[in-house]
Amino acid sequence: MKLDPLKILLSPAAIALIIVSASILAVLVYESLNTWIQDGIGFLLRLEWSPSEETYGTYGMLAPFLGSLVTAVIAMTVAGALSTALAVFVNEYAPKRFNNFISLALFSMAALPTIVYGMWGLSVFAPAVRQSGLASLCAMGSPTGYSVFTAGVVVGLMIAPFSAAMVLEAYRAVPFTYVEALHSLGAKGFERAGVILGLIKGSIIASALLSFGRAIGETTIVAMTVGNVINLPLCPFQPAHTITSLIASQFGNAYLYPGLQSRLLAGALVMVIGSSVSTSLGMWLARVTARRLKGESL
């Protein structure tokens, strides 16, 4: 049996990555074990948040959990809409000489630190939301503009370049015979786009799942723009907390409150599992769609 030198060289890196991932998961499970033994999944269904430095307080994670879901769904929607629109524009309407410029812009946006998006959200988008009067649509609307909606939109803008790259690649991967057939039938840009988007809908859904997995774990942007209040996110224009923003704001002092650190780590474990499941489903669906496209005939 002939050994592949490159395989031997890269194997330690792969093994190290698996070990690190497993150790992180093990630490989260071990440190949150007290929560799972005492409450099980019930801590995610409890609303009351009552810290105590003397005895075990009540740390219901329902509000932050729903805040995470709503924020991630808004971000996924924003990223999906932008990436699909960009794919259609680039492939059907934009002059070819602009492709390199658009690719450079996407790479530049993807390379920006999340703190930059958070600062933009604080200084530009949150004031715009405040001045728009959208908060008046909620009984507990945010007077500052910091809200679930603000956090979701800014996170959506942050993950849009990654989502767009995937949708663009899927759009361009459609066999030329399909595009040629559409041209021969006299299909216009929007008509071609409708057909091609139908062919790659699996990749679009996969992109949405990957975006959801990325958005649900975002911390910096959300902590800066969501408002950081324990509220049920009944309206997107009110301030709230997500599990990640709650961990960011509370973990440093959690040791002062019996039981809080375990609850926060249990919440982190839930986020890791949710993100992993969403990402895995997205990757699987993307592979299935790619194989289907290669074997289809128009």
What is the predicted pLDDT for the residue at 297? 45
Residue 235 belongs to what H/E stretch? none
Interval 82-103 mean pLDDT? 84
d(CA 29, CA 139): 39
Contact 158, 174 (CB under 8 A): no
Q: What CATH number labels 58-295?
A: 1.10.3720.10
State the amino acid at position 46 in one-letter form: R
d(CA 162, CA 298): 29
Structure-token pair, residue 296: 């289809």
**Confidence band, pLDDT 50/70/90 cuts, at residue 295:** low
Q: What angle do CA 281, 286, 288 make, to 5 degrees?
A: 95
Closest C-alpha to 43, from 296, 199, 267, 238: 267
Helix (H, G, I), strand (E, B) or coil at 188: coil
Range with the poorest average pLDDT among 106-115, 167-176, 267-276, 289-298: 289-298
- Say whether pLDDT at 34 is over 80: yes
Where does the chain show beta strands of DSSP type E? Answer: 49-50, 58-59
Closest C-alpha to 203, from 230, 177, 166, 243: 166
Handedness of CA 102, 103, 108, 113 (dihedral sign): positive
The number of C-alpha atoms within 13 Å of 90 and in the hemisphere containing its C-beta is: 22
**pLDDT tens digit string along 45-69?**
888 888 877 778 788 899 999 999 9
For 122, which DSSP code? I
Q: 129 has which bridge partners?
A: none
What is the predicted pLDDT for the residue at 298? 41
**pLDDT tens digit string along 241-251?**
999 999 999 98
What number of helices (H) and strands (E) belong to the chain? 13, 2
Interval 141-154 mean pLDDT? 92
Closest C-alpha to 150, from 55, 96, 209, 226: 226
d(CA 68, CA 241): 8
Tokens 């808004």 correspond to 74
Residues in the chain: 298
Helix (H, G, I), strand (E, B) or coil at 59: strand
What is the predicted pLDDT for the residue at 153? 96
